[in-house]
């Protein structure tokens, strides 16, 4: 096992695009994903972090997921707010191709409907780009379990997008 090493803030920033994609797959909106990544980095970089036998991306992905879980728990304790009409149409932003935006929203909606363990596997491997081994280690499950969850997640998303699921 490798000796503990410090998480370097400069290297952590290199993972922002992959973590944003993961956050976007886990959340309901681009803005919520941006807030989640920002909150995760604020928590992680607030004090020195020691990595013990894992890579930065796996550590940051787990921190991102834990931050999301904490936020969702806090949300359940707050009163429910309704969505404004302007927020209901994310494809209406200038510069985005409406057809492409609609397709992306369908994919994210299909991912959001997955059970947590399937969604976590899909986000880690297909969205954040972790290897099977890295993702399994990040979530503390055997690689075979991760592979099975990933297969089932991909199958459910494909069926949902094709209209057969």
Q: Give the pLDDT of residue 37.
A: 94
Q: What is the pTM of this model?
A: 0.60
Other Cβ atoms closer than 10 A to 107: 15
Encode pLDDT of 4-17 as tens digits: 788 888 888 889 99
Please give the radius of gyration of the chain, using alpha carbons only, rounded to the nearest integer.
17
Q: At what angle do helices 98-112 and 143-162 cross, to 10 degrees?
A: 130
Domains of the chain (ranges; CATH) run 5-162 (1.20.140.160)
Alpha carbon separation from 108 to 27, 44, 160 (Å, rounded): 8, 26, 11
More confident residue, 13 or 52: 13
Chain-centroid distance of CA 136 in Å reads: 15
Encode pLDDT of 84-141 as tens digits: 544 444 444 445 678 888 888 888 889 989 999 999 999 999 888 899 999 999 899 9
């Amino acid at each position: 096992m490798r000796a503990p090493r410090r998480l370097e803030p400069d290297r952590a920033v290199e993972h922002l695009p992959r973590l944003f994609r993961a956050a976007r797959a886990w959340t309901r909106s681009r803005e919520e994903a941006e807030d989640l990544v920002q909150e995760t980095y604020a928590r992680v970089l607030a004090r020195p972090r020691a990595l013990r036998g894992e890579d930065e991306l796996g550590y940051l992905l787990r921190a991102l997921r834990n931050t999301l879980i904490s936020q969702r728990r806090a949300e359940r304790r707050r009163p429910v707010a309704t969505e404004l009409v302007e927020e209901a149409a994310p494809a209406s932003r200038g510069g985005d191709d409406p057809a492409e935006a609609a397709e992306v929203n369908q994919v994210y909606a299909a991912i959001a409907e997955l059970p947590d363990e399937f969604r976590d596997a899909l986000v880690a491997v297909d969205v954040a780009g972790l290897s099977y081994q890295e993702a399994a280690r990040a979530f503390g499950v055997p690689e075979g379990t991760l592979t099975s969850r990933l297969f089932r997640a991909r199958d459910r998303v494909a069926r949902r997008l094709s209209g057969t699921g």
